Amino acid sequence: MAEQSWAKHVADVLRRNGIRLYATVPDYIVSHVLDELWADPECRVVTTTREEEAVGLLSGAWLAGHRGALLMQNSGLGNCTNALASLNMASMIPMVLVMSHRGDLGEFNPAQVPMGRAVTHILDALGIRWIRPMSIAELEHQTDGLVKLCYVSSQPVAIVLPSELTGGKRG
């Protein structure tokens, strides 16, 4: 059973790692994290029309000196794969990707399943280091190190949020 405070923990680990700028195409699960960020006057959240646009925006913000995170559904990874490859990997522009993992355990919507299977393979194919914390303890244990790796390697990293952590979405 997922603990309700998981979303605050995600927001807190991002904020304590100096991330104040967020871009998003919302999804039901990450919206719980967005609620924390929208309520924080020190954080700015930009809603884009498509995940690829968010990658461009956060890349520009990095070039202007700001850390940024992209909050989305894992389906959005498909919408921004080329930008992550040809912009972020090719030019070494870091950002933190935070995505719900739809299409895995407990999924009710068949349309989510293929991308649910593909998501970590796409990240691996791009060479993007990812974590998939199954509990708040794992999230707290792994994320500081992941964000440090993001900026020391100057490449994107990803936090995949499984239904074991978030409770998923009920149909």
Partner 1 sequence: MSPLTRAGATKYLASRVKNEVLVSNLGQASLDLLAIADRPLNCYTFGAMGQCSSIGLGIAIGRPDVRVICLDGDGSLLMNLGSLCTIAAEAPRNYVLMVWDNEVHQTTGGQATATARKASLVGIARGAGVEKGIEVRTQEELERAVDRILKEDGPFIVVVKIDKGPSTAPFDQDLIGQASRFRKALAALPAV
Q: What residue ranges bind partner 1 (CB under 8 A)? A: 21, 44, 46-50, 52-66, 68, 82-83, 85-87, 90-93
Phi then psi for residue 134, to 5 deg, are: -90, -10
CB of 81 to partner 1, least distance (A): 11
Name which of 53 and 138 has its Cβ closer to partner 1: 53
Structure tokens at 164: 């074991």
Name which of 81 and 135 has its Cβ closer to partner 1: 81
Cα distance from N-terminal residue to C-terminal residue, the chain: 17
**Angle 56-58-64 from CA coordinates, rounded to 5°:** 110
What does the CA dihedral 144, 148, 154, 160 come to, rounded to 10 degrees?
-20
Partners of residue 72 on adjacent β-strands? 99
Name which of 33 and 80 has its Cβ closer to partner 1: 80
Structure tokens at 67: 């850390």
Name which of 2 and 57 has its Cβ closer to partner 1: 57
Q: What's the rounded Cα separation, in Å, for the pair 100 and 86?
A: 24
CB of 91 to partner 1, least distance (A): 4
CB of 17 to partner 1, least distance (A): 17
CB of 126 to partner 1, least distance (A): 13
